[in-house]
Structure 1
Amino acid sequence: MLHTTESTIEAWPPAALDIRIRTAAMRDYGELCGLFDELDALHRAARPEMFQAFDGPARSQEQVARLLSDRESTILVAGAADGLAGLAVLLTRPPSAFAGAAPRHVIELDNLVVREACRGRRVGRRLLSAAVEWARQRRATHVEVAVHEFNTDAIRFYAAFGFAPSVERMMLAV
Structure 2
Amino acid sequence: MAPKKKSRGAPIKSTEPARQPPNWPAFTPLVPETDLALQEVLPSQIVTIPNFWTATLCKAYVSFLSSLPLTTTPGKPRKGDAVRVNDRFQIDDPAFAERLWSETALKTLVTGAALKELWGGEVVGLNPNIRIYRYAKGQFFDQHCMSSSRGDPSLALRCSRTGPR
Q: TM-score range by the shorter chain?
A: under 0.3
Give me the TM-score of the superposition, normalised by structure 1. 0.25
Larger Rg: 1 or 2?
2
The structure where helix makes up a greater share of residues is: 1
